[in-house]
Amino acid sequence: MASISSPGVGSGLDISSLVSQLVAAERRPTQLRLDRREASLQAELSAFGTLKGSLSSFQSALSGLQSLSSFQARTASSSNSDAFTASASRPPRPRASTTFP
């Protein structure tokens, strides 16, 4: 005749605790790998956010350079107008110049 046995039931061993510990021990390496991957992805996401912010600041700084008139403006000023004055009425022609102190 067949008998049904349940090893450990009568031995006083905490089978539920042993099974839980075994499952946790088997899960630990996978969980650590996933945690490291998550940290790496979070750092990468943060770096992309920093890059996006920097590019936005750079774009804002360059926005004043969109107009050609910004480059064609001809002005000169001096803290001592008796020593230096300048004016321009047409675009300058390219040429070499030397300034002496």
Task: Assess if residue 100 is contained within a domain.
Answer: no
As averages over each run of 10 residues, the pLDDT of the chain (101 residues) reads: 59 84 94 96 97 95 79 73 74 65 59
- Residue 65 located in a structural domain: no
Query: Is residue 69 a part of any domain in this protein?
Result: no
Query: To the nearest 10°, the Cα dihedral for 90, 91, 93, 99?
Result: 90
Q: Which two tokens stand for residue 3?
A: 């008998």
Question: Helix (H) and strand (E) counts for the chain?
Answer: 2, 0
Q: Domain span at residue 28?
A: 14-53
- pLDDT recorded at residue 7: 60
Residue 48 lies in a domain: yes
Instruction: Report if residue 49 sits inside a domain.
Output: yes
Check residue 49 and report its DSSP letter. Answer: H
| 86 contacts: CB under 8 Å, gap ≥ 6 | 76, 78
Q: Give the total number of structural domains in the chain.
A: 1
Its pTM stands at 0.48
Residue 82 lies in a domain: no
Whole-number pLDDT of residue 54:
96
97 within a domain of the structure (yes/no): no
Task: Please count the residues of the chain.
Answer: 101
